[in-house]
Structure 1
Amino acid sequence: MDIKRKYKNFFSVLGKWVILGSVIGIVVGSTTTFLLETNDYLGDVREKNGWLIGLLPLVGILLGYIYMNYGKVFSNNILNDTAELNNLVIDTVHGKKKIPIRMGPIVYFGTFLTVFFGGSTGREGAAVQMGGSVAEAVNRLFKVNLLDTKILIMSGISAGFGAAFGAPITGAVFGMEMTALGKMKFEALVPCLVASFVGHFMTTAVLGHKHEEFIIQNIPELSFITFTKVIIISVIFSLLSVLYCQLRHCIQNFSEKLFNKNHMKRAFVGGLIIAALTLIIGSQDYNGRGLQMLEQSFTEDVPPFAFLGKLVFTAVTLGTGFVGGEAIPLFFMGATLGNSLHTFIDLPISFLAALGLIATFSGGANTPIAAFLLAMEMFDGKGLEYFFVACLVSYIFSGHHGLWPSQQIYEPKSRLYYIGNAETIENVEKNKKI
């Protein structure tokens, strides 16, 4: 009887994870395809109608109104504010808060508004939050127990990321690695893997979406000198990720304090700043996702300080209350900085751009394993030794900074840093200012 009970429990839990993970993957893959296709269309329309940027401040008022009046939900006397974006998803995984089902539709609408009217943002944030929203709906529909609730939220994250970038293996690991430093809940591997692959399958095979391709033309031969160069520039990319994270958080904290957390006023002023910067620069290179210059950085020279332009535009956009993702902006910053370093470092331009893309993401997201796997999936396994080193170096040298203040630190990145366990990125940054 004990053996039968064990096998019954094994297949029961396994079957539940596979089925629910598949359901999450199907829904999230479908909605992510809608996100990708719509964003592409809206971005093309905006580029042909430059005057739309003038409406961004008014759109900021609308977006702020939506989040202030429809984005806040109380559950068990705890405020769950969808304006916290990925931080709310992370807190839900740790059982501190709960994702409102309305979070997905709100962030999609907000992302569409941000992209269409010229804010600088990405898309994976919306995909991850929709993934969390769908997972929460599945949890409620099937009355999932508390432990599996957290695991399925991670599966939603995996489905959203895997579908958004066409990287199912990366998505599976990202869902487990995103929420905390120094700890991965491998128990969630099965549902995360299923959700990510199903989401990717829905996006590409079923619905036919084609993801952007970035091609490395040449990989340098393995040598001590090349590894030394990779380590040095990876430190530079890690500092770039820290600069962005700190500026973005500083703008958010300052604007919230200045306007007493009035989302409408914050976004209105942010929209004015972005519109003014766009007029001053005289181009839309740093509005929207900036995919054209990102792709260009792999093949030819781009403006030497393009990475700073994208850094400022994205930090202001997201720091003042607009919504979207931060992965593609980090890709842009890293790739264009790598392109600029080509002038000083004798390495292939496409290789430097690829290295910057991956290393900057690794340092900002604090997900070195997922970043390495993303490099393998994005660049067909080329230069794996270099990318592995770059991800680890950027992760370590970025310190305890990151895109998402709610990330928990179960263990410090290294004994090089004196940080207590069970801290969060937010608390560490606050303590450094005291």
Structure 2
Amino acid sequence: MKQNKYLPKEQFTIAYQLLRWTLLVTPVAIVTGSLVALFLWLLDTVTHIRWEHPWLLFLLPVAGVLIYYMYKLAGKNAEKGNNLIMDEIHQPGGGVPARMAPLVLITTIVTHLFGGSAGREGTAVQIGGSMAGWIGRTLGLTQRDTRLLLMTGIAAGFGAVFGTPVTGAVFALEVLAVGVMRYDALVPCLIAAVLADVVCSAWGLTHTHYHILYQAIPSTAGVPFLHMDLWLLLKVIVAGVAFGLTSWLFSTLMHAIKHNANAYIKIPWLIPVIGGLVIISLCYIFQTTDYLGLGVTSEHPNGVSIVNAFKAGDQISDWSWLLKLVFTAITLGMGFKGGEVTPLFFMGATLGHAIAGWLGAPVDLMAGLGFIAVFAGATNTPLACTIMGVELFGTSHVIYFAVACFTAYYFSGHAGIYSAQRPGVAKYFGKNHTSQG
């Protein structure tokens, strides 16, 4: 009873903070949403230019040298990318420079124009974090407020680039530490992600729509309280293990390529040159360019792509996921710029397509599960990815989304694509299990 007299004061404080953070977040979301819209338009444009002029692939090594010198001359600490933003949130230091946004935007476009296998999430998140850091410095915010504003920049960039604002908000809270979420930025991140998505859409940008047409069938096991196909659920668990191992393989390979390239290639600008030559060689060895660029759609109607992975047929080979994994690990590990997430979608969707054939499961459902689950394992964000499944595919299969993402999360181990991600809670209960409250 005694607490009740303080309740109105507490609610007024909360209302004030919500209003304040709405005002702080609004410019971050507007600028980020607009820049992401520009980035997506440029990305689509250069992808079609590359399709029309396949000879551009031969200039990929030259593009790598250009990217190297752009960061060497103007990048400074901006080359750390997403990890710099996460480090600044964990432990404020030199700040996130405003130059990060134009640098990563230009270099990602260059990577895609000349055939690098990369994504777009990293670029969008860096744009959001860079703009948040710049606005925080301009307004003279405290370190604590700047840290929260950087989280809203992550949410805004992610929510806008994929058209999944709730996922963007939860991703910003979940990605910083394995197994730990920060709720102090919950509402500001949601506001930022929703508003940035609205702004991006207002510029006329549309996102690719994926569909799972499979309709769930009640269990035939004769158990009345089961409202799902138990046999299919077991197949989803098996697939989740495969998705998690794929996440681990990609993260491990990409970090290994980067480490060994820096250790053994003594002339730094030669690293992207060699990487570009390897990508060109792989295209000729496998006689395809389907594993270049984003891979959302293909230059050819029956080519290997994320969209086609949702369709039954033999256009997706059983090893398409592994080829995309190798192409992307080399591209990003050897110094080219872009995100990892869309290639992870590609790996997951094509692996899901293959698993559907192996296990006799619905192709579109398995492709959708792989789409979100490989991403969940590589970023250690199973909750955000489950929500992404709902935002992209609807609520009909949410149980399968959760099972696939949670299983992949556990089987991906403690490695991830972000080296700045802190260990929070171990993925197993044993003597070394730790917790942060």
Q: Same fold (TM over 0.5)?
A: yes
Q: Which deviations, in whole Å up to 9, do the C-alpha atoms of 1:141-186 show, x marking residues without a partner?
A: 1111111111110000000000000001101111111111122111
Matched residue, 1:129:
126
Residue 257 of structure 2 contacts residue 329 of structure 2 at CA under 8 Å; is this kept in 1? Answer: yes
Q: Which deviations, in whole Å up to 9, do the C-alpha atoms of 1:245-279 show, x marking residues without a partner?
A: 1000000000111234x542211111111112122
Matched residue, 1:75:
none
By how many angstroms is 1:289 displaced? 0.5
Q: Is the aligned partner of 1:52 residue 2:49?
A: no
Q: Which deviations, in whole Å up to 9, do the C-alpha atoms of 1:340-399 show, x marking residues without a partner?
A: 122211211101111111111110110001000000000022300111111111111111
Matched residue, 1:156:
153
Matched residue, 1:271:
276
Matched residue, 1:314:
328
- SS of equivalent residue, structure 2 residue 357: coil
Q: 2:246 aligns with which of 240, 259, 263?
A: 240
Larger displacement relative to structure 2 (232-241 or 11-20): 11-20
Q: 1:13 to 1:272 in 2, by over 3 A?
A: same
Determine the C-alpha separation between the residues in 2 that align with 1:419 and 1:320.
35
Q: Please, what TM-score do these two structures have when normalized by structure 1?
A: 0.91
Name the amino acid aligned to 2:248. V
Q: 2:341 aligns with which of 308, 321, 327?
A: 327
Q: 1:355 to 1:324 in 2, by over 3 A?
A: same
Matched residue, 2:292:
287
Q: Which deviations, in whole Å up to 9, do the C-alpha atoms of 1:314-345 show, x marking residues without a partner?
A: 00000001010111100000110111122211
Q: 1:250 aligns with which of 224, 246, 256?
A: 256
Matched residue, 2:78:
82
Name the amino acid aligned to 1:65. Y
By how many angstroms is 1:203 displaced? 1.1
Name the amino acid aligned to 2:209. E
Determine the C-alpha separation between the residues in 2 that align with 1:6 and 1:165.
36
By how many angstroms is 1:220 displaced? 3.6
Matched residue, 1:386:
400
Residue 220 of structure 1 contacts residue 348 of structure 1 at CA under 8 Å; is this kept in 2? Answer: no
Q: Which deviations, in whole Å up to 9, do the C-alpha atoms of 1:216-255 show, x marking residues without a partner?
A: 1204421221111111110011001101110000000001
Q: 1:409 aligns with which of 409, 413, 423?
A: 423
Give 5+ residue unaligned stretches, structure 2. Answer: 218-227, 298-304
Residue 92 of structure 2 contacts residue 143 of structure 2 at CA under 8 Å; is this kept in 1? Answer: no
Residue 307 of structure 1 contacts residue 333 of structure 1 at CA under 8 Å; is this kept in 2? Answer: yes
Q: Please, what TM-score do these two structures have when normalized by structure 2?
A: 0.91
Larger displacement relative to structure 2 (321-330 or 95-104): 95-104
Instruction: State how 1:295-314 maps to structure 2 within 5 Å.
Output: 295-300=307-312, 301=314, 302-314=316-328
Residue 136 of structure 1 contacts residue 153 of structure 1 at CA under 8 Å; is this kept in 2? Answer: yes
Residue 67 of structure 1 contacts residue 263 of structure 1 at CA under 8 Å; is this kept in 2? Answer: no
- SS of equivalent residue, structure 1 residue 289: coil
Instruction: State how 1:12-161 maps to structure 2 within 5 Å.
Output: 12-72=16-76, 81-97=77-93, 98-161=95-158
Q: 1:182 to 1:24 in 2, by over 3 A?
A: same
Q: Which deviations, in whole Å up to 9, do the C-alpha atoms of 1:180-233 show, x marking residues without a partner?
A: 1122111101110110000000111x1121100111120442122111111111
Query: Percent identity, aligned pairs only?
Result: 38
Determine the C-alpha separation between the residues in 2 that align with 1:123 and 1:364.
16
Name the amino acid aligned to 2:419. P
Matched residue, 1:338:
352
Q: 1:276 to 1:406 in 2, by over 3 A?
A: same
Determine the C-alpha separation between the residues in 2 that align with 1:271 and 1:113.
12
Q: 1:219 to 1:363 in 2, by over 3 A?
A: farther
Residue 409 of structure 1 contacts residue 421 of structure 1 at CA under 8 Å; is this kept in 2? Answer: no
Determine the C-alpha separation between the residues in 2 that align with 1:415 and 1:105.
44
Larger displacement relative to structure 2 (277-286 or 234-243): 277-286
Q: 2:209 aligns with which of 179, 191, 213?
A: 213
Q: 1:419 to 1:271 in 2, by over 3 A?
A: farther
Determine the C-alpha separation between the residues in 2 that align with 1:86 and 1:44.
27
Determine the C-alpha separation between the residues in 1 that align with 2:42 and 2:179.
37
Matched residue, 1:428:
none
Q: Is the aligned partner of 1:167 residue 2:179?
A: no
Name the amino acid aligned to 1:228. L
Q: Which deviations, in whole Å up to 9, do the C-alpha atoms of 1:116-143 show, x marking residues without a partner?
A: 0000001010000000000001101111
Q: 1:386 to 1:306 in 2, by over 3 A?
A: same
Determine the C-alpha separation between the residues in 1 that align with 2:179 and 2:354.
33
Q: Is the aligned partner of 1:397 residue 2:411?
A: yes
Name the amino acid aligned to 2:270. K
Determine the C-alpha separation between the residues in 2 that align with 1:421 and 1:250.
29
By how many angstroms is 1:413 displaced? 2.2
Determine the C-alpha separation between the residues in 2 that align with 1:294 and 1:168.
21
Name the amino acid aligned to 1:289. L
Residue 220 of structure 1 contacts residue 226 of structure 1 at CA under 8 Å; is this kept in 2? Answer: no
Determine the C-alpha separation between the residues in 2 that align with 1:407 and 1:207.
33
Q: Which deviations, in whole Å up to 9, do the C-alpha atoms of 1:21-49 show, x marking residues without a partner?
A: 11111111110011111101100110111
Residue 63 of structure 1 contacts residue 264 of structure 1 at CA under 8 Å; is this kept in 2? Answer: no
Determine the C-alpha separation between the residues in 2 that align with 1:219 and 1:266.
48
Give 5+ residue unaligned stretches, structure 1. Answer: 73-80, 423-434
Q: 1:417 to 1:119 in 2, by over 3 A?
A: farther
Determine the C-alpha separation between the residues in 1 that align with 2:69 and 2:396.
47
Determine the C-alpha separation between the residues in 1 that align with 2:14 and 2:294.
44
Name the amino acid aligned to 2:138. L
Q: Is the aligned partner of 1:259 residue 2:256?
A: no
